[in-house]
Structure formats: C-alpha cells, structure tokens
Structure 1
Amino acid sequence: MPLYEPPDGLFGPERDFVDSAAAYVAAAEPSWDDDGPVTPIEWDLLTAREADAAWADLNAWVHWLRHRFALPANIVPPYWHRHPELVEELSALRTHRLACYDPEASPSSPITWMRDLADAILRLRDWVALCGTGRNGDRPSRQTAWPGEPDIDDDYVVNLEDREADFRAFVADDVERRRRIEDAAQAHLRLVRDDEDGA
C-alpha cells in the first residue's frame, strides 16, 4: 500500500506533482539504515543490498527534484544514472537536503540548501555538457586517453526509448556486480580461515 494516495480528480501536472511528492516522502530516508543519522553515500563501498536501496531512493528523489524545480534535461537528463559524475552530484545534493530539512536543523538551513541548489544546477549543466547525455540518447562520458593509454571510443550514442526500463536494468547489473564481488570476498575469507585452521 502506498504511503500516500493522491485524491481523485487530479490530472496532468497536478497529478505528476502529487505523485513526485509522494515518491519523495517515500524516499526521505535511506531504506537500508532507517535508524541512523543522515550520512553521505560512498557509492563505491555499498553492498549489493545497500546499493539496491540507495538507487531506488535516489531515483525517487531525482524525479521529485526535476518536477519540483522544473529542471530540463540539460540539467538533469533521463539517463543520469549512467554517469558517475551526475550520480555523485545528485546524491550529494539529496544528502545535503535531508540534513538541511532535518527537524533538528537550523531554521535557516533550507535557504542554505536553496543557495547550494543554485550552485549545483550550474555544475550539473557543466557535467551534462561534458558527458553528452541527452533527452533521448546517451553515450559514455568522454574520457581523455593519456600518452601510452589506448584510444577510447566514446563517440557512439545509444538511443534509449524507455528510461525506467533502462534504469531497472542498470541497477540490476550494478547490484549483481556487487554481489559477485561480495561472494568472491567471502570465498577468499573462507580460504584464508581454512588455511589458518590447517596450519
């Protein structure tokens, strides 16, 4: 059952706004650590379970953000999840907002967040221009090969038609990659323990 059911009779932008607000409320706190304080997310260190929840939370919040502030695709593009620089910026912005709107935060914290949002919008616009993702297509962020490194083919563009399907597939791949790393680490620890027990 959803946390909030919009009233009947809403349509168009009103319904979209209420739906995005409900998604934001649902994603207000990280779902893997409901009892802890708001902390920054170190994406490279998340477990598979934490990453699955963090992706869902961030996705819901980004939908809320783009609707709330009418942000165009040159600031928050549909395929932001495919670009680590955008993930880091949006994740930091979300964490900052949670801290600024905490019930124990200073009453002036929201204006700090609004000022920082304006700065983040400028950075997001720059990130999007650099990485080349757009409304209907995406390509990997451009990487510059240094002397001695192989050339990087980053000129291709993938036309994507279903953003939510792409997001789900991307997250499933990321979670599975993390799960394989965890399984390999556990297997290594078992071998080390077995060697120590046999010594």
Structure 2
Amino acid sequence: MAKTLGAVPRPINWRTLPPGDVEHELLELNAWVDWLRHTYGLPAQVVPPMWHRHPELLWELSALRQHWLFCFDPQAKGNQALAWHHDFAIARERLRDWVTISGTRLDRDRATRITEWPGGEAEDWEAPDTTERTVTNRTEDFLAFVEEQVLARRAEQNATIREITNLEWREQP
C-alpha cells in the first residue's frame, strides 16, 4: 500500500482504459480490495469473492479506492481520514445493495440479471447467462477475468485502428 500513497489519485473510467492500464488497475484494485476486506473484516454480503465479475461492484469499489487514495495521501488534510470513514460507512450500504441485486454470494455466483426493455435493446444485445456457478478458485477466476478484459480491450483497440486506417485509405485521392 505504501507505494500507492503519494500518487495523484484520479477517477478511473473503466470503459476507456487501454489494455495495459486495465490490467494494471485491476491488479491494483484487487490488492486494495483484499486489504480492505481483511482490515475491516468485511463479510461477503459487502464484498463477495466474485466482485470483479459485477460491473456495479467494480465501479463502486474502484471509486472507494480512489477516494481512499485521496484521503490518505501524505498531502491530505488531517480530517480526510475521518471523511473517508464517514463515506465508507455509506458506501458499505450501497455495496450491500449491489450484492443483493447482483445475486453473487460467498459460495456461488451468477451474472447480474438485466431487465430487457421491450424494443429498447440494441439489435446485437444478448441477455447475460445468469446460470449460477459454484465459486471454487477465486484467484484463478480473477486472473482469467483480467486476461479476458485485456484481450477484449486489445480487440477494441485493433478494431478502432483498422477503422481509422480504412477511413484514411478511402480519403486518399
């Protein structure tokens, strides 16, 4: 944790991070969440093992981490630690709500159910598979998740590069 203190905390937009940053930020967040749950004795009803598989939990925990980095920065004002603990109490309630909505538990997990809007979904949208799965090896799953995210970002990045390149070729005289 000491090496993260002193860095300029910034909001993380998980939708736009390039592949290398996604990997780095996920690994850092995972280490921080592990520290958080051990330090504060958080039950799975607040931080379940498969939090990384649920965007609502990933965004909430990420925001909480960035807030912690800001409040515990060596340059922070003396009352920031108290402010963080106040906000942490509120965030724990939100985390409980997210866990309830998502359906993830200590020993089993399923994708968060998304209510399909009649005539309101993109043509290529597919509802997530909400089959429950037993949680057997959380670390192995997390590392597979990181790899999936990096590969997906690389594919997005490559598609964007191809699109730009094709546009440039079409604009050639």
Answer yes or no: same fold by TM over 0.5: yes
Contact 2:111 2:128 in 1 (8 A): no
2:29 aligned partner: 58
Please tell me the residue identity of whatever aligns with 2:146: V
Seen in structure 2, the aligned counterparts of structure 1 residues 149 and 195 have a Cα distance that, compared at 3 Å, is closer
Aligned length: 169
State the alpha-carbon separation in 2 of the partners of residues 154 and 53 from structure 1: 28
2:145 aligned partner: 170
User: Which of the two has higher C-alpha Rg?
Assistant: 1
State the alpha-carbon separation in 1 of the partners of residues 116 and 161 from structure 2: 35
State the alpha-carbon separation in 2 of the partners of residues 93 and 74 from structure 1: 17
| Cα deviation code 1:40-91 (max 9, x no counterpart) | 0000000001101010000000000000000000100000000000001000
Query: Residue 160 in 1 paired to residue 135 in 2?
Result: yes
State the alpha-carbon separation in 2 of the partners of residues 81 and 40 from structure 1: 18
State the alpha-carbon separation in 1 of the partners of residues 94 and 12 from structure 2: 19
| Cα deviation code 1:122-181 (max 9, x no counterpart) | 110111011110111100112112234689576520112000000000110111000001
Contact 1:75 1:124 in 2 (8 A): yes
Which structure carries more relative contact order (alpha carbon 8 Å, separation 6+)? 2
Seen in structure 2, the aligned counterparts of structure 1 residues 145 and 195 have a Cα distance that, compared at 3 Å, is closer
Residue aligned with 1:44, SS: coil
Deviates more, 1:69-78 or 1:135-144: 135-144
Deviates more, 1:61-70 or 1:178-187: 178-187
Query: Residue 124 in 1 paired to residue 95 in 2?
Result: yes
Contact 2:106 2:135 in 1 (8 A): no
Contact 1:143 1:154 in 2 (8 A): no
Contact 1:38 1:95 in 2 (8 A): yes
1:113 aligned partner: 84
Please tell me the residue identity of whatever aligns with 2:10: T
Match of 1:104 among 58, 62, 75: 75
State the alpha-carbon separation in 2 of the partners of residues 62 and 189 from structure 1: 38
Q: CA shift at 1:105, angstroms?
A: 1.1
Query: Residue 88 in 1 paired to residue 59 in 2?
Result: yes
Query: Residue 133 in 1 paired to residue 104 in 2?
Result: yes
RMSD value, Cα: 2.0
Give unpaired runs (5+ residues) of structure 1: 1-23
TM-score of the two chains, using structure 2 as the length reference: 0.90
Identity score, percent: 41
Query: Residue 179 in 1 paired to residue 154 in 2?
Result: yes
TM-score of the two chains, using structure 1 as the length reference: 0.79
Residue aligned with 2:105, SS: coil
